[in-house]
Amino acid sequence: ADQGQTKMSKLATALLACFAAVHASVEPRTGISFPDKHKGGSLSRLGVRTKGPIKVYAVGEYDSGTFLLRMSYGVGAQKMASALADALKPRCKDAKQIEEFEACLLSGLPNGAPKGTELEFATGGSKLSVSVNQKPLGAVGSKALCSAFAAIYTDRNAVCTMNAAGEGAQPAACGLLSPARKGALVGAGVGYLAGKVLG
């Protein structure tokens, strides 16, 4: 009986985790979701970087100064790092810092930036921090570089149009369920699992 209860408890916990309300918004052109909250920041704007007809990545901007880029199209490491470095050049005059940033990003993309890769750039402090797939790579200490990176997505020559997170963004699938429906689904799932484990 203890073994059955342990199995049921583990299955119920897993089911609850699956149905837990993960609040996220979906960028409508790519279908890529972004958490509404990320490391203390709230999602403020969403955009898509395109090259001709290709949607290269979706970008989420957080009010903490963090930018999440989620690849919707695979790109080689050098191409991705060079594209961001090239976007920095008219916004930052310090070529050495841009080279340092590019080298930092390249170090985290040994297999390029395939579809699904997440690039995170934190610009909220006095250094531009870089992470790939939630693995910190390093940082370049420069407020000017932080401002320049943010400007890639925020100035009048931004590389893509950024829209307020509520404009055209759609809640992620689990966000479409009301609390009552989530509860009903969890209850039904737990009842089903209990019947399987105990029956």
| Model pLDDT for residues 10-19, shown as the tens digit of each residue | 554 544 444 4
Q: Quote the pLDDT of residue 166.
A: 75
Q: Quote the pLDDT of residue 180.
A: 41
Residue 104's identity, in one-letter code, is C
Q: Quote the pLDDT of residue 18.
A: 45
pLDDT in tens, 23-65: 899 999 999 999 999 999 999 999 999 999 999 999 999 999 9
Q: Give, for all 199 residues of the chain, the pLDDT tens digit.
A: 555 555 555 554 544 444 444 589 999 999 999 999 999 999 999 999 999 999 999 999 999 999 999 999 999 999 999 999 999 999 999 999 999 999 999 999 999 999 999 999 999 989 999 999 999 999 999 999 999 999 999 999 999 999 999 765 554 444 333 344 444 444 554 455 445 545 5
Q: Quote the pLDDT of residue 8.
A: 53
Question: Which tokens go with 134?
Answer: 């939630």
Q: Which helix (H) or strand (E) holds 183?
A: helix 179-198
| CB half-sphere exposure, 94, CA atoms < 13 A | 16
* C-beta neighbour count of 146 within 10 angstroms: 23
Residue 84's identity, in one-letter code, is L
Closest by alpha carbon to 39, among 20, 19, 65?
A: 65
Q: Quote the pLDDT of residue 87.
A: 97
